[in-house]
Structure 1
Amino acid sequence: MTARMFVAIRPPEDILDDLDRFAEPRRAADSTVRWTTPDSWHLTLAFAEAVPADAEEEFVDRLRAVADKHAPFDLQLAGAGSFPSPARAKVLWTGVAGQTDQVIRLSAAVRRAASVAGIEVDGGRFRPHLTLARMNRAQEATRWLRIFELFAGRPWRVTEFELIESVLRAGRGNRYRTEERFPLRLPSLRAPTR
């Protein structure tokens, strides 16, 4: 038996509330855009289509080790983009600013942990983002990008990441369930040897 799982950073509620207030007037503007909801907003560090049940415990142990080796860092939601391109967008997203090198390193460590645990993760190039909307068909997204490039959220301190199971529900989207939280810890200082 396998489970669809991902490892992600969830911004704090007040940060998501700010983005939600900014996005709210745009939601009714276009029926070809399926807007995501704040309860599903996150920054994916790694996604695994199929996590074998017998590999999950080792994966969790390895994620704990990753968290122990990474210090908290600061991010903010800012900017906008689309996949695969603005001319043929299927996904609209907001990006991050701040200590982006830290989130990139954390993602790489999480992906290595999955690999060592025998779990295959999506191998695409990592670009930290929060998905705002999906389009029913590929479309020109420049107008949306211009609007969401104006959004700049408040900075927040990333203090943990989560392992989340994604349960597909026919016709009702995905339901996310947090399996485990992993607090980031400052690297321990070793006592000098004599």
Structure 2
Amino acid sequence: MRAFAAIVPPTGAHADLEEFLASRREVEPGLRWTPSSLWHVTLAFMAEVPQDLIWDVVDGIGEVASAAAPIPLRLKGAGVFPSTDEARVAWMDVHPEAVDGLAALTGLALESRRAAHRIGVSPAEGGYRPHLTLARSRRPFEATTWLRVMQGYDGPLWSADEVTVFVSHRGEGRGRPHYEPVAACPLGATISRE
């Protein structure tokens, strides 16, 4: 099964972003928009987690979370992967508001990945760029106009105070994946299983 550890923005941040997007979704008609119920900021993605190790993953992520403090965040601005000329993924940028916030968020992601490694689960590697995926495109698109429209977004401040561990179930046929939360791991506290 697939699993990931993520920070989920609170309801108020979701609602604010939804309102902003309402009149802007048609700027790039070829995008497949991620439903807001699936919005999250991934810390560690694990493509293959044996069923019998999921609670070990939860315990490992819980230990990492309990050693971290809440992080004030804001969704602000936008970006694309892999490049503006050949964009395939459109996202909102995540801005830590504290002076050391980016280091704290990056450290949380790194420690989450290390926890997965210690358990014997291989997380996705590579550099860490905190973001919230908004949409994907089947074909690359030139994103200058889309970025110009989205750069004006400056969402409300909120506190990332827990890491949620999800398992991902593929949708039926060509449907979207279904993310099932299995545990909430509070930052600076003990875990609670869903």
Same fold (TM over 0.5): yes
Residue 23 of structure 2 corresponds to residue 20 of structure 1: no
- Please name the residue that 2:131 is paired with: 129
- Take 2:71 and 2:174, find their aligned partners in 1: how far apart are those partners? 37
Say whether the 8 Å CA contact 1:159–1:183 is kept in structure 2.
yes
- Take 1:8 and 1:87, find their aligned partners in 2: how far apart are those partners? 29
Residue 121 of structure 2 corresponds to residue 119 of structure 1: yes
Runs of 4+ in 1 over 6 A off after TM superposition: none
Q: How far apart are residue 29 of structure 1 and its match?
A: 4.1
Unaligned runs of 5+ in 2: 190-194
Amino acid at match of 1:115: H
- Take 1:21 and 1:143, find their aligned partners in 2: how far apart are those partners? 20
Which has the larger share of strand?
1
Equivalent of 2:184, from 178, 181, 185? 181
Q: How far apart are residue 13 of structure 1 and its match?
A: 0.7
Q: How does 1:63-142 map to 2 (within 5 A)?
A: 63-97=61-95, 98=97, 99-142=101-144
Query: Under a length normalisation based on structure 1, what TM-score does the superposition of the two structures give?
Result: 0.91
CA deviations on 1:133-169 (whole Å, 9 max, x unpaired) are 1012001011111111100101111110100011111
Query: Under a length normalisation based on structure 2, what TM-score does the superposition of the two structures give?
Result: 0.91
- Take 1:29 and 1:55, find their aligned partners in 2: how far apart are those partners? 43
- Please name the residue that 1:158 is paired with: 160
- Take 1:4 and 1:35, find their aligned partners in 2: how far apart are those partners? 21
Unaligned runs of 5+ in 1: 187-194
- Take 1:61 and 1:39, find their aligned partners in 2: how far apart are those partners? 25
Query: In the comparison of the two structures, how many residue pairs are matched?
Result: 184
